[in-house]
């Protein structure tokens, strides 16, 4: 008499093949069983998992749908279907599939977590948060949900809350490499660079070929002025992921700072070859060309970058500044109007020195300088707030410059320091430029 269902030993054999990475053999075995048991939903679910593992997502979707047709209350198949649809970018349909899985199995913690991920992709952050929290209600030690809540807080700009959730996830699972990496990015954004380095290094200790962590570590080294260390980190990121366009772009930026122009050009061009619509790489290529005084080539790169992304920070200023070198005045008045309108909206469109050559408006120049300073030198959360200090009889004034030497800044400001009323003010100058030992 023919059996209605496959034996458990046959199922276990397929699962063992899959678990040992022998995916194609597992798929071949399940196909054989399906011929004998064409109405067994479990086999179609397993086949879907195998198809997804070898990158055949469309075939996986059909297998899961067949499993659900055979067994309408198959929560695991609904969850797997949702996961595959999510990876295919069909998040609206994925949400419905996860919701069906949860309706069948209300304590399905993985489905709640996956539903949160799909909702987050759809920009429904508050709904995603509720779904993750529901997963934690079912299983308070579900560290993936804690990590995902941290990601939502990060996206909402609630960085301190994000840190708490990442640390809670790591307290449960200290080997969760992605939590270490994302914790590092939040610490970095808060200006806690030493702590960020520690977090990235812990991620890399767990996963030495973690290209994203190498890249992020390189960015921190740039912020610290450790450019040679940054180059090494970016090189490691690229070694781990040879098509890592962002790492090539970052490498190009560092080489420009190191005055290694040929290397910078090659890195930017490699980033563009990998990712032809990479606006930032075109912008950085323009910066190198401008430094080399190849202004025509710079303009071409800037214009391509602008076509790809009108909102790329400070790009409009680069375009206008480069046009000044080329004596190209086409459409200048409308671009200046656009620049002023964007500046009024606090957009980062131009650097202060670039603006000085274009518009003689002190209020506008002040606003541009404020926007630029906030971007390049954000408020530090490491140092305490400087409060009013009333114990000095005189007001202390400090001047900071890299140009206290034979330089126009020193020449033009020397008299300023001399004429301060010493009865009311204490005057200090802090030089962070070269010690030239010259007369000035």
Mean pLDDT over 269-294 rounds to 97
Sign of CA dihedral 169, 170, 174, 180: positive
| Segments in 207-278 forming alpha helices (H) | 211-223, 227-240, 245-257, 261-274
Q: Give which of 227, 198, 224, 226 is closest to 213, Cα–Cα.
A: 198
Q: Could you give the percent of the chain with pLDDT greater than 90?
A: 76
d(C-alpha 296, C-alpha 320), whole Å: 13
**Which pair of structure tokens corresponds to residue 98?**
């996860």
Centroid of chain to Cα 247: 12
Mean pLDDT over 303-309 rounds to 96
Q: What's the pLDDT at 14?
A: 83
Q: Name the pTM for this structure.
A: 0.83
Q: Are 166 and 179 in contact (CB under 8 A)?
A: yes
Mean pLDDT over 247-269 rounds to 97
pLDDT of 32 over the 90 cut: no
**Which pair of structure tokens corresponds to residue 178?**
């992605």
Structure confidence by residue, pLDDT tens digits, 400-409: 999 999 999 9
Q: Are 148 and 130 in contact (CB under 8 A)?
A: no
pLDDT of 60 over the 50 cut: yes
Q: Are 64 and 45 in contact (CB under 8 A)?
A: yes
pLDDT of 121 over the 90 cut: yes
Q: Give which of 124, 128, 146 is closest to 137, Cα–Cα.
A: 146
Q: Give which of 348, 302, 346, 307 is closest to 325, Cα–Cα.
A: 302
Q: What's the pLDDT at 376?
A: 84
pLDDT of 56 over the 90 cut: yes
Lowest mean pLDDT among 1-5, 100-104, 297-301, 364-368: 1-5
Average pLDDT, the chain: 92
Lowest mean pLDDT among 103-107, 113-117, 187-191, 273-277: 187-191
Q: Are 37 and 71 in contact (CB under 8 A)?
A: no
pLDDT tier at 1 (50, 70, 90 boundaries)? very low
Structure confidence by residue, pLDDT tens digits, 223-240: 999 999 999 999 999 999
pLDDT of 382 over the 70 cut: no
Q: What's the pLDDT at 401?
A: 93
DSSP state of 432: -
Cβ atoms within 10 Å of 356's Cβ, excluding its own: 11
Q: Give which of 219, 209, 210 is closest to 187, Cα–Cα.
A: 219
Q: What's the pLDDT at 342?
A: 85
In what helix (H) or strand (E) does residue 154 lie, and over which residues does it extend?
Answer: helix 143-156
Mean pLDDT over 134-156 rounds to 96
d(C-alpha 28, C-alpha 440), whole Å: 82
Q: What's the pLDDT at 334?
A: 87
Q: What's the pLDDT at 419?
A: 94
Q: Could you give the percent of the chain with pLDDT greater than 70?
A: 98
DSSP characters for 334-348?
A: HHHHHHHHHHHTT--
Mean pLDDT over 286-309 rounds to 96
More confident residue, 204 or 15: 204
Mean pLDDT over 185-201 rounds to 95
Q: What's the pLDDT at 390?
A: 72
Q: Are 147 and 177 in contact (CB under 8 A)?
A: no
Structure confidence by residue, pLDDT tens digits, 8-31: 887 888 888 888 889 899 888 888
pLDDT of 307 over the 80 cut: yes
pLDDT of 2 over the 70 cut: no
């Amino acid at each position: 008499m023919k059996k209605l269902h496959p034996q458990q030993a046959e199922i276990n054999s397929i699962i063992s093949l899959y678990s040992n990475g022998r995916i194609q053999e597992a798929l071949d075995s399940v196909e054989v069983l399906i011929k004998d048991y064409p109405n067994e939903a479990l086999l179609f679910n397993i086949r879907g998992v195998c198809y997804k593992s070898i990158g055949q997502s469309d075939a996986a979707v059909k297998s899961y749908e067949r499993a659900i047709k055979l067994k309408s209350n198959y929560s695991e198949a609904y969850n797997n279907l949702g996961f595959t649809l999510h990876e295919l970018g069909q998040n609206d349909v994925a949400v419905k599939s996860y919701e069906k899985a949860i309706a069948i199995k209300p304590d399905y913690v993985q489905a709640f977590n996956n539903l949160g991920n799909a909702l987050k992709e759809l920009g429904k952050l508050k709904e995603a948060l509720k779904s993750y929290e529901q997963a934690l209600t079912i299983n308070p030690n579900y560290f993936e949900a804690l990590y995902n809540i941290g990601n939502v807080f990060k996206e909402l700009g609630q960085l301190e809350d994000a840190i708490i959730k990442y640390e809670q996830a790591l307290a449960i699972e200290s080997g969760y490499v992605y939590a270490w990496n994302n914790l590092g990015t939040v610490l970095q954004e808060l200006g806690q660079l030493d702590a960020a380095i520690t977090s990235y290094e812990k991620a890399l200790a767990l996963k030495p070929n973690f290209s994203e962590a190498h890249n992020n570590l390189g960015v921190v080294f740039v912020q610290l002025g450790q450019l040679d260390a940054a180059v090494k980190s970016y090189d490691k990121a690229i070694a781990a992921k040879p098509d890592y366009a962002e790492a090539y772009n970052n490498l190009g930026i560092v080489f420009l700072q190191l005055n290694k122009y040929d290397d910078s050009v090659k890195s930017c061009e490699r980033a563009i070859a990998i990712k032809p619509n990479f606006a930032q790489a075109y912008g950085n290529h323009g910066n190198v060309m401008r430094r080399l005084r190849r202004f025509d080539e710079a303009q071409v790169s800037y214009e391509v970058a602008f076509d790809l992304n009108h909102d790329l920070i400070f790009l409009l200023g680069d375009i206008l500044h480069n046009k000044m070198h080329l004596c190209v005045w086409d459409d200048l008045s409308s671009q200046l109007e656009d620049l002023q309108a964007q500046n009024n909206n606090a957009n980062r469109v131009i650097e202060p020195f670039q603006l000085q050559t274009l518009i003689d408006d002190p209020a506008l120049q002040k606003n541009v300088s404020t926007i630029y300073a906030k971007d390049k030198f954000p408020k530090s959360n490491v140092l305490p707030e400087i409060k009013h200090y009333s114990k000095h009889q005189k007001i202390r004034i400090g001047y900071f410059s890299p140009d206290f030497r034979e330089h126009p800044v020193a020449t033009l400001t020397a008299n300023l320091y001399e004429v301060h009323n010493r009865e009311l003010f204490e005057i200090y100058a802090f030089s962070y430029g070269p010690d030239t030992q010259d007369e000035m």
